[in-house]
Structure 1
Amino acid sequence: MVIAETADVEVVGEAGTGAEAVRLAAELRPDVVVMDIRMPGMDGIEATRLVTADGGPTRVVVLTTFDEDEHVYAALHAGASGFLVKDMALDDILGAVRVVAAGDALIAPGVTRRLIGAFVGGRPSRSGTGGPGPGARGVTAAAAAVAAVAAERRLAAITGREREILTLVGRGLSNTEIAAELVLSIATVKTYMTRLLAKLDARDRVQLVILAYEAGLVSVSG
């Protein structure tokens, strides 16, 4: 209702299930899909993966009650370009839709740290303890080590300055904040971002954040 009443945004469809969301996205080709995580049948993560699989222009913003959803970090690899928490201010939700529609990814530093914390530390347990279950720690550590080696190999293709910018992206800084931090123009930062996306074969800013954490450029604690 809020989005529909906004002058510069048009609601072209509404789905009640993940499967319906995939069907409507293919049919209507919207700029942005606001995707819930928990839906009947196909969940929002699988729906996000299918919506973004063809590399088309449609981008997905995941809507979640993050504190309750143990699987939300999986949306990072499913191709989501942004994350909204259901208790966010309405203006922030609308702003996020606009940011993603413009081709950027929404990376709120606080949410990013928590998402990556789950990604790096392993899937939270269903018991709510927030860590891997018995016997899982060794598997998690091995998987993280393999991911780190793979990420570092990918980073071999970038320059020192690009690596510096990737580190700031991993910390959740916007292009404007990166420009101020490094005393560069915003246009220059945008050029570096374009190069990073191309060299690292990353779809968007979210994937750059994952890579920065996998490579150890940024720690979960910030």
Structure 2
Amino acid sequence: MMRAIGDQVAKNPEYLSILEKEAIKNGKIDDKTQVEQVSVMNKLLNNALRAKGYKGPDIKMVLTDVTDPKGPYYTDTLTNVVVFDRTMLANANRDEILNALGHEFGYYSKEDNKTGNQTIANYSGEKLEKRTKDIVSKEATEDTLAAIRNNKNVITGEEGKKLAESIPMERREYRTTEYFVTAGGATHIVSGVRGTVTKSLYHSVDYKNDREMYKHFLI
């Protein structure tokens, strides 16, 4: 699944130049620039899902001032709505925006295989950021800009605020932060057999439920 959205980014380097724009100008959010960026995210996500055979309704993206204390971004996969906080997104650079996009794409990967969990969404975000880091952007033409403007799947203003707030708390899927650390080394030789120990640490921060989880593995 992740290759699908990575391919969409690679095929549309002009989109990257839009994601590279500064969304804050003179200390204020430039609404026009930010809507263009979210429209790019929306088109990349929907095109990738369609390329994988998805036949459901388009994913809609809401741009609003999020007041949810659990997190600035959340998704409702039941109604296919993704909510982004204006200020948080405006301060994100290209890589961070793509990470967020990959994260949202991961939710739909999870829906496809029915066995995934939050880890898939987090992994997808990191994977897309790394996959696209070396892709060189191309200046967007007027045709490209015209194609992303007036995107009916990007909802702002009062309508966006109402839609975002109408999503029940129990249906909101938030972002968690996860860390994987692995270390290994040879121990000592006993009867001619070398022993090796690898230790892994998994650290997950679940912002939705305000909890942390640690797991240690010895291999």
**What band does the TM-score fall into relative to the shorter chain?**
under 0.3
RCO greater where, 1 or 2, for CA within 8 Å and sep 6 or more? 2
TM-score normalised per structure 1:
0.25
| Structure with the larger strand share | 2
TM-score normalised per structure 2:
0.25
**Is the radius of gyration larger for structure 1 or structure 2?**
2
